[in-house]
Amino acid sequence: MANTLSRRSFLKAGIVGALALATAGGIYRMTRQPATLTPYTLDGDARTALGAIASVMLDGALRPGTSDIQAAVQRTQDAIHGLPLNIQKEVQDLFALLTLGPTRRFLVGLPDDWAQAKREDIAAFLQNWRTHRLQLLQAAYQALHELVAGPWYADESTWASIGYPGPIKELS
């Protein structure tokens, strides 16, 4: 009989505790000011990560020994600034995952910092996310791909690297 009472007391205490937490959480959410969204600018770690990713994604389109990687990073930054603020926040969260040490190691699979990462490791990470069974990681890969390739190939100065002569003059 004593065990039954202690189990009942435990269950009651658990229910009361859950209700108290739910009430406190609701009050907190009602009184909290919504976070103001601000434009996202890539910091040093994010720029380094993006440069490493862009050099692999745009392999063959970048001229060796040029400032093409920095140009790709800047074009991507400009594209990010053109996105709605709530999407910029999601891009910021993505780069936070890519640059934070533990998530870079366990989620991305890179033991080294982005500056020391091997091209093969970056290519393997991109391929893994592209074909991952979790759609969230596939979506993250697609976002990275569109953020890097879109602005790069939208610039007329990069068309020659893929043999694109430009729009047909009769249609423009």
Distance CA 50, CA 122 (A): 11
Task: Return the domain boundaries, the chain.
Answer: 1-32, 44-160
Which of 142, 145, 132, 45 lies closest to 95 in space, CA to CA?
Answer: 45
| Tens-digit pLDDT profile for residues 77-111 | 999 999 999 999 999 999 999 999 898 898 899 98
User: For 135-139, which contacts have Cβ atoms below 8 Å and span 24 or more sequence positions?
Assistant: none
Distance CA 40, CA 25 (A): 29
Mean pLDDT across 114-127:
94
Q: What is the pTM of this model?
A: 0.75
CB 99 within 8 A of CB 47: no
Distance CA 98, CA 119 (A): 16
